[in-house]
Structure 1
Amino acid sequence: MPRARDRPLVAGPRAAGRRAFEAIPAAAQLAVAATASYAFAHFVLGHQVPLLAITVCLSSLGFVRDARPKRVLETAIGLSVGVALAEVLLVLAGRGVWQILVAVFATLLLARLLNAAPPVAVAATAQSAIVLLIQLPAGGSWARSIDGFVGGAVALLATALVPRDPRRAARRDADRVFAGLRRGFDDTARALRTADRRTASVALAELRDLQPLLTDWTTTVDSAVAIARVSPFLRPRLEELLAQRRLVAGVDLAIRSMRTIARRAEALVTDGAPRPELAELVQAVGSATALLGRSLREPAALEPARQDLLLIARRLDPRLVTPDASLTASMVTVLVRPVVVDLAIAAGVPADEVRAELPRLT
């Protein structure tokens, strides 16, 4: 059986089409913002070719997952300062080879001082080089600096007034995480049921491979929450997004615990003895987790997921699940307890309530 990381998610053309479709909201935002930057600099300020208004705007927004206003602001400031620094050098020292050297070096250091992201420093330096290379515009020495600040300001306004739809992207990311997590549950249960060490290894690989998907989901949700706080169009969805942030945190903890369970299962099944009771327990948690994932698109599934998790919590006593098992096998039931607690809290069950359902281990 191939490891999870060896399985292509989708074929090439299908992946390309999906990428293009998912990029539509970001492309629309970038197109509107760039056009608005140009229109303001050209028609209101009278700048004939406001190139930097467009480039700074596009670079500030970025074609990236993280569209938080704070990141946009930091990037816009870094780019605009790079443009202004080049303008100062141009006024003081003129145009030439050594001026390019000084501008690139100084802009890189200043951008890194203002923003820790290396891509921002490189983008700011590119804007600085453009200022030194293109001819002085009709608007005067500082027209390009003004265009840069216009582009940054429009990018920030676009974040609030022309927001991307973060909920759709967050749901897509969540679907991928829950699909991978369900495979991890299913394969761990199958390994315990059939005493197949190879299947347990596959389950562990699948759970490990969820980390980049989980990082994407976390970034998307954090970005969505930040945008909803400043956007009048998305503010009504803030509570929903905060609930999804709580879900991300719980699922993250559950995945970490499931890796431990998969490792324990991999070691446990080496004796060749099937353990159907443990398999049933892991499968039950997987089914409740699948319901929790469905609740993002079908809110009615949330309450059944909560009830299932609480019912499972009441059974999590090794003496009930595997009364005649060894201590090593009994530990699987103990390890399932934090998974159920984290998922129940992620589903909105108060922590004290779900912990009160757990049998005492004495």
Structure 2
Amino acid sequence: MTPSAAPRLTGRARAGLLAGARRVRGGIALAVQAGVGAGIAWFIAHDVIGRPQPFFAPIAAVITLASSVGQRARRTAELVLGVAIGIGIGDALILLIGTGPWQIGLVVLLAILVATAVGGGTPLVVQSASSAVLVATLTSSTGLPWTRFFDALVGGGVGLVVMTVLLPLNPLTVVKRAADPALRAFADGLHHVATALRARDRDEVDAALVELRAAETSFAAFSAAVTAARENVAFAPARWRTRGALAQYVDGAMQATHALRNARVLVRRVSTGLGDEEKMPDVLATAITLLGDSVDLMRQEWAKAAEPLAARQRALSAVSEAAKAYDDGVGFSGGVVVAQIRSAATDLLRATGVDFAEAPRLVRRAAGWRDRARTTRRPGRRPPAPGHA
């Protein structure tokens, strides 16, 4: 091992440990919920109701609580329906054809087909198959079919009570934790593009595009967290006080996603323009940097529950800077880049709470198209199209 390799390995190990610690810290609340829910579900089904082996109750409670990406009520319904399908098919077939490897395979096959036929999602399909397997392998010790279905109802109900009344997660914390990496990746990708454009390095532009495509996954998690938070606030009275602080994330998540998609179009056109050796003025790189700054400022201001005034101003500055590109002269790709900067800025303004109709007006004013059209028009030549906001 070279002397320089040891510090790198140490740094990676430390970073891995810190990342693991952050993941553990983020999962503690859900782990506590699941542990408490499973224990309560078993206690009610076994000690209160008197079921001898109510293993479906804690399973149902854990699955309900593990559905932390929103739509828990729907997932609980799918869970119970899946249990019903699996138990019904398993009991019927095992009664007719007995037990064994091929019987288990047939039971699972039919359970999945039925769950799919009724339009079930992944939770319903998985639970149908797993319930069928449990029935097929443990049928001699589980009692009557309706008792297993009742266990699932108990567990699902306990899970819902735990997540809404006893130990509701803080939806604001969940959303912040999901939004931060998404917005960081977005801002970093734009800054990467700007640096590559200044250097006229097409390979780095393409690398930045890969980063922004990967950010789509983080944004999907962000949107899912917003859905979960909205549901959590609606059903958990203890979290009603967080509604105001959540509004920025809830209202802005979709528009931020639109801005990301417009930015990806922007980056593809930058790559094309460099590949065609088209003139790309430095003001475009400056404008893209300002756009990245706007995303990062929005992240910071959202985290502080502050009015994102700085983010709005930086987005409008990006539009103003991009408009200067027409003074320096741009080709087709450069014109598309300007238009996409305007589109992304409009989305960011809407994400920060600007009225849907007001945002494009602010963008047009920042671009100064009316004055620019009068001062730059030449005889026999139409001004370049600014694109849509």
TM range (shorter): 0.7 to 0.9
Corresponding position of 2:258: 253
Query: 2:205 matched to 1:230?
Result: no
Q: Secondary structure at the match of 1:300?
A: coil
Task: Look up the match of 2:294.
Answer: 288
What is the one-letter code of the residue matched to 1:155? G
Residues 239 and 94 of structure 1: is their aligned pair in 2 closer, same or farther, counting only changes over 3 Å? Answer: farther
Q: What's 2:382 paired with?
A: none
For 1:60 and 1:333, the matched residues in 2 are separated by 47
Q: Secondary structure at the match of 2:291?
A: helix
- Aligned AA for 1:96? T
2:22 maps to 18
Q: Secondary structure at the match of 1:299?
A: coil
The residue type paired with residue 153 of structure 2 is: F
The answer to whether the 8 Å contact 1:34/1:54 transfers is yes
Unaligned runs of at least 5 residues, structure 2: 1-11, 374-389
169, 188, 195: which is aligned to 1:164? Answer: 169
Across the aligned residues of Structure 1 and Structure 2, the Cα RMSD in angstroms comes to: 2.9
CA contact (8 A) 2:82 2:131 kept: no
* The one of 325, 330, 345 aligned to 2:329: 325
Question: Quick one: distance in 1 between partners of 2:266 and 2:99?
Answer: 64
Give the distance between the partners of 1:231 and 1:356, measured in 2 at CA: 39
Kindly indicate whether residue 344 of structure 2 is the aligned counterpart of residue 339 of structure 1. Answer: yes
Q: Does 1:183 align with 2:197?
A: no
TM-score, normalisation: structure 1 = 0.85
Query: Residue 170 of structure 1: CA displacement?
Result: 1.9
Which string of whole-angstrom CA distances, capped at 9 and with x for unpartnered residues, describes residues 185-209 of structure 1? 1122112322222222222121111
Give the residue type in structure 2 aligned to 1:246: D
Task: Tell me: higher relative CO, structure 1 or 2? Use CA pairs within 8 A at least 6 residues apart.
Answer: 1
Residue in 2 that maps onto 1:41? 45
2:303 maps to which residue?
Answer: 297
Is 1:29–1:158's contact at 8 Å kept on the other side of the alignment?
Answer: yes
Counterpart selection for 2:35 from 18, 31, 34: 31
Structure 1 residues 104 and 190 mapped into 2: Cα distance closer, same or farther (>3 Å)?
Answer: closer
Pick the aligned partner of 1:151 from 135, 148, 155: 155
Quote how far apart the aligned CAs of 1:252 are.
Answer: 1.0
Q: Which amino acid aligns with 1:275?
A: P
Are residues 79 and 114 of structure 1, via their aligned partners in 2, closer, same or farther at CA, if it must alter by over 3 Å? farther
Give the C-alpha shift of residue 294 in structure 1.
Answer: 0.7
The residue type equivalent to 1:22 in the other structure is: G
Aligned residues between the structures: 351
Is the CA contact 2:79–2:123 (under 8 Å) kept in the aligned structure 1? no
Q: Hey, what does 1:124 align to over in structure 2?
A: 128
Q: Letter of the 2:221 partner, please give it.
A: D
Letter of the 1:229 partner, please give it.
A
Change (3 A) 1:354 1:126: closer
Q: Judge conservation of contact 1:316–1:334 (CA < 8 Å) in 2.
A: no
What is the letter of the counterpart of residue 237 of structure 2? P
Deviation at 1:261, TM superposition (A): 1.4
Instruction: Give 1:212's match in structure 2, choosing from 214, 217, 221.
Output: 217
C-alpha displacement at 1:210, in angstroms? 0.9
State the distance in 2 between where 1:218 and 1:138 align. 40
* Shift in Å, 1:77: 2.7
How many percent identity over aligned positions?
25
Gaps of 5+ in 1: 1-7
Which whole-Å deviations, capped at 9, do the CAs of 1:94-145 have from their partners, x for residues lacking one? 9534764564344323332445324532332222332343365597664333
User: 1:168: how far off?
Assistant: 1.9
Sort the Cα spacing of 1:219 and 1:354 in 2 relative to 1 into closer, same or farther, 3 A: same
Of residues 179, 183, 200, the one that matches 1:195 is 200
Partner of 2:99: 96
Q: Measure, in 2, the Cα distance between the counterparts of 1:178 and 1:287.
A: 11
Check conservation: 2:68, 2:228, Cα contact below 8 A.
no
Residues 140 and 280 (structure 1), Cα distance of their counterparts in 2 relative to 1, 3 Å cut: closer
CA contact (8 A) 2:273 2:280 kept: no
